[in-house]
């Protein structure tokens, strides 16, 4: 855990969010403005994206409330939103995360799985998965067929 995060945890009484940590490390000491344009833009984009995500979460929650008769809220993953706004790891770093970027699995960002969009069709999940797999594999099958055809053509033309 970084020193900034430890200090802010003690100050707030809870671990700081990514936004709180960013504000503490990218604002001027007098708290009037950000240290540079990139930090200002990144934070503004993060706030916009966070607002959009919470609005979507509430909309989905309200429709599920009516359907199931009980509250349902999707968790908003600030770290995923931050990575979406700030960009994925570059040379082992994520802008605005400092040493906290090591928490991200592997050398690339793996997004948090999102629930599939609700569709009115009666296509089952296994059918959707199968369709996606087939669409992904098809270009490879076409390339393999083309290579096999060329090899077959070469072997048949080189025969006496």
145 and 134 share a domain? yes
65 and 139 share a domain? no
94 and 160 share a domain? no
pLDDT for res 37: 92
102 and 158 share a domain? no
37 and 103 share a domain? yes
71 and 7 share a domain? yes
Q: Taking the alpha carbons of 88, 94, 95, 100 in that order, is the dihedral positive or negative?
A: positive
pLDDT one-digit tens code per residue, 17-67: 888 888 888 898 887 889 999 889 988 988 998 888 888 777 665 554 444
10 and 76 share a domain? yes
28 and 94 share a domain? yes
113 and 145 share a domain? no
Residue pair 139/129 in contact (Cβ under 8 Å)? The answer is no
146 and 156 share a domain? yes
Domain interval for residue 150: 119-160
Maximum average pLDDT range among 45-49, 79-83, 117-121? 45-49
101 and 23 share a domain? yes
**pLDDT band for position 103 (50/70/90)?**
low
Q: Give the 3-state secondary structure percentages of the chain, helix then strand then coil, rounded to 5.
A: 60, 0, 35
Phi-psi category of residue 35: left, alpha or beta, with phi > 0 → left and psi -120 to 50 → alpha: alpha
Distance (Å, whole) CA 64 – CA 56: 12
For the chain, how many structural domains are there in total? 2
47 and 76 share a domain? yes
- The count of other CB atoms within 10 Å of the CB of residue 154 is 10
């Amino acid at each position: 855990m970084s020193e900034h995060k430890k200090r802010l945890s003690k100050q707030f009484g809870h671990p700081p969010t990514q936004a709180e940590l960013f504000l503490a490390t990218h604002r001027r000491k007098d708290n009037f403005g950000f240290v540079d344009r990139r930090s200002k833009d990144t934070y503004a984009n993060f706030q916009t994206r966070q607002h959009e995500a919470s609005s979507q979460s509430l909309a989905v929650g309200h429709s599920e409330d009516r359907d199931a008769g009980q509250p349902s809220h999707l968790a908003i993953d600030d770290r995923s939103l931050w990575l979406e706004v700030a960009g994925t790891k570059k040379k082992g770093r994520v802008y605005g995360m400092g040493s906290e970027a090591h928490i991200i699995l592997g050398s690339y960002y793996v997004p948090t799985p999102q629930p599939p969009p609700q569709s009115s069709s009666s296509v089952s999940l296994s059918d959707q998965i199968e369709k996606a797999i087939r669409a992904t594999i098809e270009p490879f099958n076409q390339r393999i067929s083309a290579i096999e055809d060329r090899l077959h053509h070469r072997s048949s033309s080189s025969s006496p």
